[in-house]
Every structure is written in C-alpha cells, then in structure tokens.
Amino acid sequence: MKNLLTTLVVLVFGVAVATAQGLAQETTAAAPDAGGDPFTEAFFAEVAGIPLGEAEAALVKGGDLVLAVHRNTQTMTVYNGTPAAIVNGLAEVYTVPVTTRVVQRSSPQDKDAMTRDTFVTAKNISYYPTQLPAGTYKLDYSTQDVAGYGPGIHIDAYVDTTVKNKEGKNESKKMNDYFVHGTDLDNTWGCVGVKYGNMSRVMNSYHRSYGPKILTIDAYSPRKSPSKRHN
C-alpha cells in the first residue's frame, strides 16, 4: 500500500510535494530515519494519523482511481477514493480476477509470453497480440462496447507491435487499442480482461471517480515452477 501511495503522489499529486516536504522537515526531529524525504515509511505513518474532516469523510469513495494489475496472480486491485481516504484505509478497495495473457490455452507456446506468435486480424490490421509492458498508464475514457465484450476503459498506451503490411511483410507499429474490459476467456489480444462478471463493479468505480485515473501493471517475477504456467 505504501509503495502504491508513493506512485500515486509522485505521478498525480505533484502539487502536494512542497507541502509534503515541509511536513517531513517538521517531523525529522521526531523521526530521524526519515532523512527529510517526504516519501518514507515515517512520513506515511505521520499522514495516517491525520483525522478526516466531515467533508473529506463524505468523499472517501470517489476521488481518484488506481487499477493495480498483478501479472503473476492474474488479479487487479481497485483503489477508489481521495488520497486522504486511501492513506487512512477508508477508500473502496477490492480485487478482481483478470487475464493479461495473449496466448491461447490450447497453444503450445509459453502462456506467459509477452507476444503471441500467430497473427490475429482486427479493423483490417493483422498483428501479433502483445501484452502491455510493465508501467503506469492513464485511463483516459470509457466506451459502451469493446469488441462485443461490453463496456470498457481505454488505456492510454502506445505499444510496439509487429503488424503485417500491405506487401505481406512484417513491420513494427505502435498500437493504442488497449482497454480494460470484461471477458469470459483465458486470454485477450493485449487488453486487460476482467473475468467472471466483475467488470460492472469496475465500471461503477470508474464513473464514480472524479479525480485522476491510472492503471499500473507489474512484470512477471522469476518462476519457481515453470510447468505450472504451461498447463
């Protein structure tokens, strides 16, 4: 949670950094390990003790939205609330199952491969489906339907993708057709697929949010038992 808050503050709430630095300097004497750095365990412990006022308490759900995708567990944790609510543990937080995989279950290819080794075609473009690289992305708009899977949230990502040009040769192109959307499959063509009917809840959180909206996605960690991901 503390790491997530650090990312949120640095990327989205830059205007609060000066204030945070001032608070950190004031608390350095009481917490010498903080070293004046506003993004330390000591600093967040101090923030966590600040009580919410009535106005803030009324807005704990809403505020900002963070969709944190965990690739190893194929889950996504949703954080929806004001920064103060998130720090104080009062924001809406829940986890849903997702798929980030692009390789079909029936394929002999490694199921965690970042790029599928067979072409698919959409909107007259043939390309190798490619997973989102690890990183942080803005969620910039929603739509009522994504490829027949219902409502979705667009991810503002431009990903290098191998496509087949008019001459039938492979070339690299940056693709921007990435969404968070519902699915009943074990793979997508690069999007984050929310499984088992949980997309409506994610959409409710998205529409309730009135602040910045971001998605974070991590990388696969080293495998301890590779065979499990090939089943």
140-195 pLDDT per residue, tens: 999 999 989 999 999 999 999 999 998 999 999 999 999 999 999 999 999 999 99
The residue with tokens 């630095």 is: 21
CB atoms within 10 A of CB 7: 15
pLDDT the model gives residue 222? 80
Give the lowest-confidence range in 21-25, 191-195, 217-221: 21-25
The reply to whether 71 and 45 lie within a common domain is no
Contact by Cβ (8 Å): 46, 23: yes
**Domain range enclosing 14:** 2-50
Q: What is the 3-state secondary structure (H, E, C) of 83-105?
A: HHHHHCCCCEEEEEEEECCCCCC
Separation of alpha carbons 51 and 119, rounded Å:
54
The reply to whether 82 and 43 lie within a common domain is no
Q: Is 98 exposed, middle or buried (0-12, 13-18, 19+ CB in 10 A)?
A: buried
pLDDT the model gives residue 66? 95
pLDDT the model gives residue 26? 35
Domains of the chain: total = 2
The reply to whether 90 and 186 lie within a common domain is yes
| pLDDT tens sequence across 35-94 | 333 323 333 344 444 455 555 554 556 789 999 999 999 999 999 998 888 888 889 999
Which pTM was predicted? 0.74
